[in-house]
Amino acid sequence: MKKQFPLVLVLILVAITSCGEKKEDPPAPPEKTPAELAIEKLAGTQGISYVLGTSGYVKRNQVDESAYYPGFTFRLQGTDKTYTTSGASDLFEASGSWEFVGANYDKIRLNGSKPASNVEISYTKTGQELVLTFAVPTPAGGKVTALIGNYEVKLSGG
C-alpha cells in the first residue's frame, strides 16, 4: 500500500488540476487594412507636423524657391483626414481635408481652391522625411500663372 500511495496522490493532483477552468487567450486584434497602414505611415496615430526646416526645400521646375516659404509647416491628421498649413498661403489652403488617390495609397489630393489643391500629389516617406511631388497646371482662363510648374517639396516630420 505504501508504494501505491505516491501514485494515488499524483493521480489525485492531476485530476484536481485538470478540472480547473481553462483560460482562453484574448482574441488577436484585427489586422489593419492597407489604407489604415498608409494613414499611419503618412499621418501617424495622433497626426504629424512636417516642417521645411533647414534640411527641406520647395523646388519649382527644379529651382529652389524655399526662400519664399519661410516657416512652412504642413500638418496631417489621419483620424479625420484633415490638414493645416502655414507659411505657404499662395500655394496651399490654410486647412482642409485630404484623401488618397488610387488603390496604391501613394498619392493624396487636398481639397480647396489654391494651386496645390485638387491635383494628385505623390508622396514618399522615408523615416521622418516626407517628399511631395505635384504639378500645378495652368488655371482656367490663364489667371495667376506665376505658380505654374512641377513642384518637389521636402519636409521633416516629428
CATH code for position 152: 2.40.160
Give the model's confidence band at 96: pLDDT under 50 very low, under 70 low, under 90 confident, else very high: very high
Number of domains in the chain: 1
**What is the reported pTM?**
0.79
Report d(CA 76, CA 132) in Å as an integer. 13
**What percent of the chain is predicted at pLDDT more than 70?**
82
pLDDT tens, residue by residue, 33-47: 999 999 999 999 899
d(CA 110, CA 100): 9
Is there a domain that residue 115 lies in?
yes
Would you state the pLDDT for residue 27?
Answer: 82
Residue with more model confidence, 88 or 12:
88
Domain that holds residue 108: 33-157
The answer to whether residue 24 is domain-embedded is no
CA angle 48, 49, 52 (to 5 degrees): 140
pLDDT of residue 150: 97
Q: Is position 97 within any domain?
A: yes
